[in-house]
């Protein structure tokens, strides 16, 4: 029998406890032994809860209990989560977590400490919610030369974009819905400004390279500037708007970016709606594979945490290798990356736009938007596009095309 503690009894933590309760037979069978939930650490009490007697408020109770084999950290934030996890690993207690902010900032250090103390640090739920993408990269695809990963990596923003597009609901209303459903981060700026997708992109890029890609080096843009007018134009173009995390390997390193993209409807990523995430991985032998599932929410995320918990118990008293190292990765200059760009300007500046972007632009019209001139550029590098875009005297918005 193994004994575990869950740190943080919120959306994900209560989900972990629920999975252990509801699927106890399946969990025991996969782990090869019983798993007993010994403690739940939280700031609050939970009177009337089935597990109220397991709730403690002092981490020392858990760290000083020699019976504890694994800690599932689902509190979120950098501190005290980092200190708690570091101390647990130093005592040889394995840790699994859904805390991507922590993994993106301190993952390599925690993996190193786990290795030094012959225990494990796993973080499947930190990317793609319930999608088993990290385990897939670390095991099934480890032999592939992976040259690109493109994904919808944030459930909250995908939920918002879907509802804005399909139901024409306003941004603030639909963000509140996502918060009520337990999808959003404690500070929802992390979702809507793209920081959460950025951290997930950094984790994927780090695993892909076996080096450390700092989230601070990833160019990131969120969805706060997307309007109903953008969706109207997207409809005319036969496209959808999605927030993507993108990693492309080239000879000089990696191109990485988080940004909203226009995606043709025939691309399967365009059909990923609501809280679902999808990640397309391209390997040299395998070609494209796509992984799809709920990217946020209690049960799906908890399922991924429990998968790590089981893996740890199956490999008790040994270290599970996750290919997350602290050698800094080389990122290449995004300026050289080439796309087509969709641009909106005031109609009075059509001539100026044509002069700057040339005769190959494709005009885009929408019966729902007035007073604008909108077009799609030819293929152009990020650097050249930005130089020209800043010369536009009445630019309104732009979006990249996938
Ligand atoms: P919640 O805010 O719902 O839960 C966090 C819980 O931890 C709360 O009960 C909170 O108590 C408690 N807590 C916070 N600080 C401490 C502390 N110092 N000691 C003890 N307990 C503490 O967050 P989520 O469950 O949504 O998220 C948890 C983590 O999982 C985050 O890192 C998040 O990014 C990640 N995640 C979340 C997903 C989701 O869909 N929600 C999906 C994937 C990952 P109190 O409320 O009283 O502050
Ligand atoms: N806030 C995150 C999201 C939770 O919406 O994707 C899952 O990581």
Catalytic site residue from 100, 163, 200, 294: 200
pLDDT at residue 360, as a whole number:
87
Pocket flag, ligand 2, residue 188 (CB < 6 Å): no
Which DSSP symbol is given to 319? P
DSSP element (H, E) containing 281? strand 276-283
DSSP element (H, E) containing 90? helix 81-90
pLDDT at residue 322, as a whole number:
95
Q: How many CB atoms lie within 10 A of CB 112?
A: 15
Angle among Cα 307, 156, 77 to the nearest 5 degrees reads 65
Tens digit of each residue's pLDDT, the chain (402 residues) = 999 999 999 999 999 999 999 999 999 999 999 999 999 999 999 999 999 999 999 999 999 999 999 999 999 999 999 999 999 999 999 999 999 999 999 999 999 999 999 999 999 999 999 999 999 999 999 999 999 999 999 999 999 999 999 999 999 999 999 999 999 999 999 999 999 999 999 999 999 999 999 999 999 999 999 999 999 999 999 999 999 999 999 887 889 999 999 999 999 999 999 999 999 999 999 999 999 999 999 999 999 999 999 999 999 989 999 999 999 998 899 999 999 999 999 999 999 999 999 988 999 999 999 999 999 999 999 999 999 999 999 999 999 999
Pick the ligand that lies closest to the CA of residue 159: 2
Pocket flag, ligand 2, residue 184 (CB < 6 Å): yes
Q: Which of 155, 181, 300 to mutate to test the pocket of ligand 2 (most atoms within 8 A of CB)?
A: 155
Please state the atom number of ligand 1 nearest to the C-alpha of residue 14.
25
Angle among Cα 196, 100, 143 to the nearest 5 degrees reads 105
Q: Which of 49, 54, 98, 308 to mutate to test the pocket of ligand 1 (most atoms within 8 A of CB)?
A: 98
pLDDT at residue 126, as a whole number:
98
Pocket flag, ligand 1, residue 42 (CB < 6 Å): yes
Q: Could you give the CA distance from residue 382 to residue 336 in angstroms, rounded to a whole number?
A: 6
Output phi, psi for 273, to 5 deg.
Answer: -120, 170
Q: Could you give the CA distance from residue 33 to residue 166 in angstroms, rounded to a whole number?
A: 47
Q: Copy the structure tokens of residue 43.
A: 């700031």
Contact 323, 134 (CB under 8 A): no
Measured in Å, how far apart are the chain's first and last C-alpha atoms? Answer: 50
* Pairing of β 219-220 and β 146-152: unpaired
**CA 185 – ligand 1 centroid, Å:** 9
Query: Measured between alpha carbons, how far is residue 241 from residues 59, 228, 248, 249, 270 in Å?
Result: 44, 11, 20, 24, 7
Contact 324, 44 (CB under 8 A): no
pLDDT at residue 250, as a whole number:
84
Tell me if residue 144 falls in helix, strand or coil.
Answer: coil
68: left (phi over 0), alpha (psi -120 to 50) or beta: beta
Pocket flag, ligand 1, residue 296 (CB < 6 Å): yes
Contact 22, 309 (CB under 8 A): no
Sequence-separated (6 or more) residues with CB below 8 Å from residue 150: 244, 245, 246, 247, 269, 279, 280, 402
Q: Which residue has the tokens 């892909």?
A: 208
Q: Copy the structure tokens of residue 63.
A: 């760290």
Pocket flag, ligand 2, residue 191 (CB < 6 Å): yes
- pLDDT digits 0-9 by tens, 152-190: 999 999 999 999 999 999 999 999 999 999 999 999 999
Q: Which of 76, 103, 197 to mutate to test the pocket of ligand 1 (most atoms within 8 A of CB)?
A: 76
**CA 11 – ligand 1 centroid, Å:** 7
Pocket flag, ligand 2, residue 308 (CB < 6 Å): no
Q: Which residue has the tokens 């647990």?
A: 88
Pick the ligand that lies closest to the CA of residue 124: 1
Contact 106, 82 (CB under 8 A): yes
**CA 184 – ligand 2 centroid, Å:** 6
**CA 74 – ligand 1 centroid, Å:** 5
Q: Copy the structure tokens of residue 288.
A: 């494209």
**CA 100 – ligand 1 centroid, Å:** 12
Q: Which residue has the tokens 């689902």?
A: 74
Which DSSP symbol is given to 14? H
Pocket flag, ligand 1, residue 196 (CB < 6 Å): no
34 is catalytic: no
């Amino acid at each position: 029998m193994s004994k575990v503690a869950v740190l943080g009894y919120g959306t994900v933590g209560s989900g972990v406890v629920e999975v252990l309760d509801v699927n106890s037979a399946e969990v025991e069978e996969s782990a090869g032994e019983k798993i007993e939930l010994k403690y739940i650490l939280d700031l609050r009490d939970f009177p009337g809860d089935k597990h109220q007697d397991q709730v403690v408020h002092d981490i020392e109770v858990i760290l000083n209990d020699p019976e504890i084999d694994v800690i599932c950290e689902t509190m979120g934030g950098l501190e005290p989560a980092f200190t708690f996890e570091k101390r647990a690993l130093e005592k040889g207690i394995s840790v699994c977590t859904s805390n991507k902010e922590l993994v993106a900032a301190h993952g390599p250090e925690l993996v190193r400490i786990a290795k030094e103390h012959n225990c494990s640090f796993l973080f499947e739920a930190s990317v793609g919610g319930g999608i088993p993408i990290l385990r897939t990269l670390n095991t099934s695809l480890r032999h592939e030369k992976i040259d690109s990963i493109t994904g919808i990596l944030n459930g909250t923003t995908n939920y918002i974009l879907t509802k804005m597009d399909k139901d024409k609901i306003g941004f603030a209303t639909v963000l509140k819905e996502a918060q009520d459903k337990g999808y959003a981060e404690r500070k929802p700026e992390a979702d809507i400004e793209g920081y959460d997708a950025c951290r997930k992109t950094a984790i994927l890029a780090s695993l892909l390279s076996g080096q450390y890609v700092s989230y601070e080096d990833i160019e990131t843009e969120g969805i706060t500037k997307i309007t109903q007018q953008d969706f109207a134009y997207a409809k005319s173009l036969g496209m959808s708007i999605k927030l993507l995390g993108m990693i492309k390997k080239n000879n000089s390193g990696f191109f990485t970016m988080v940004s909203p993209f226009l995606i043709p409807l025939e691309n399967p990523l365009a059909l990923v709606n609501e809280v679902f995430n999808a990640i397309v991985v391209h390997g040299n032998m395998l070609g494209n594979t796509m992984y799809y599932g709920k990217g946020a929410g209690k049960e799906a995320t908890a399922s991924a945490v429990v998968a790590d918990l089981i893996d740890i118990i199956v490999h008790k008293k040994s270290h599970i290798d996750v290919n997350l190292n602290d050698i800094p990765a080389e990122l290449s200059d995004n300026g050289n990356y080439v796309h087509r760009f969709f641009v909106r300007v005031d109609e009075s500046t059509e001539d100026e736009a044509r002069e700057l972007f040339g005769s190959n632009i494709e005009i885009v019209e929408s019966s729902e938007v007035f007073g604008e001139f909108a077009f799609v550029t030819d293929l152009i590098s990020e650097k050249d596009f930005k130089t020209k875009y800043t010369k536009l005297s009445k630019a309104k918005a732009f979006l990249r095309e996938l």
